[in-house]
Amino acid sequence: MNKTTYHCHTTYSDGHNTIREMVEAAELLGFTEIGISDHLILHPTLDSIDWAMPLDKLDDYVKEIKKVATTSSIIVKLGLEVDFFPHNPRAEELNNILLKYDFDFLIGSIHFIDEFPLDYLKKDWELLTQNEINNIHLQYWKNIKLMVETNLFSFAGHLDLPKKLKFSPNINLEKEIDSALIAIKKAKIPIEINTAGWGKPCKEQYPSKNILQKCIKLDIPIIINDDAHTIKNLGRFYDKTEMLLKNL
Ligand SMILES: [Zn+2]
Ligand SMILES: [Zn+2]
């Protein structure tokens, strides 16, 4: 199996290594392709997100990835991880920015429900009632469906991210999950197994096994990504993923 990743971060957003360092490390580790996908977030109400790429850095980001690609022995793809918000008044601004460049791929991800950060701090979740926790999970899946229906994205990032900090819903989300997966099927895009989840409190890949089984039933293609934020995490938990796929 070719070792690839189409989800990793650099110092342009919240990663710890430069583009060149990530690509050179991937070469040494035997990757055949690496797609760089720093965070781009045009939040509807929050001015700037400190862990995302500042908009005025996007030009340099694109240029640098292309430059590194010309000297690399492996294929280097130009990507972004873009946050989706339903009814975002900045959607047109986002589209115009994305059209300016020839991205090879765009990851559609949801890290926020309105202003609530899903994967940031445990203490944010601790302030929620169980009913609010349920609603966050419910809204997440509704937003995934809307995100996929824009046809803007190459694949959906870390499906089931709200499980990360272990604040589980006590309602059944089956209907919303199934609708989101059917939208993914209709959009003819893959999902990723995001191996970073194994290093988080949820201690498992995104998405969970039962969602992966649903994807297989629907014939949705699955790609494996590490969501590496440092060279040390390139290809992390890929061995576990291969075992998981064998046992699905
Ligand atoms: Zn993400
Ligand atoms: Zn990411």
Overall number of domains in the chain: 1
What is the CA(37)–ligand 1 centre distance, in A?
9
What is the CA(81)–ligand 2 centre distance, in A?
6
pLDDT recorded at residue 1:
73
Q: How far is CA 141 from CA 3, 173, 184, 223, in A?
A: 30, 8, 12, 20
What is the CA(156)–ligand 1 centre distance, in A?
10
pLDDT recorded at residue 226:
98
The H helix count followed by the E strand count for the chain is 8, 9
pLDDT recorded at residue 165:
98
What is the CA(153)–ligand 2 centre distance, in A?
14
pTM: 0.97
Q: For residue 98, what are the domain limits?
A: 4-246
Could you give the angle at the alpha carbon of 228 between the alpha carbons of 11 and 24, nearest 5°?
Answer: 70
What is the CA(23)–ligand 2 centre distance, in A?
16
Name the residues around ion ligand 2, CB cutoff 5 A: 81, 227
Closest ligand to the CA of 80:
2
| 222: CATH | 3.20.20.140
Per-residue pLDDT of the chain (248 residues; tens, 9 = 90+): 789 999 999 999 999 999 999 999 999 999 999 999 999 999 999 988 999 999 999 999 999 999 999 999 999 999 999 999 999 999 999 999 999 999 999 999 999 999 999 999 999 999 999 999 999 999 999 999 999 999 999 999 999 999 999 999 999 999 999 999 999 999 999 999 999 999 999 999 999 999 999 999 999 999 999 999 999 999 999 999 999 999 98
Residue 138: helix, strand or coil by DSSP?
helix
Residue closest to 160 by CA, chosen among 122, 241, 215, 121: 215
What is the CA(1)–ligand 2 centre distance, in A?
23
What is the CA(157)–ligand 1 centre distance, in A?
6
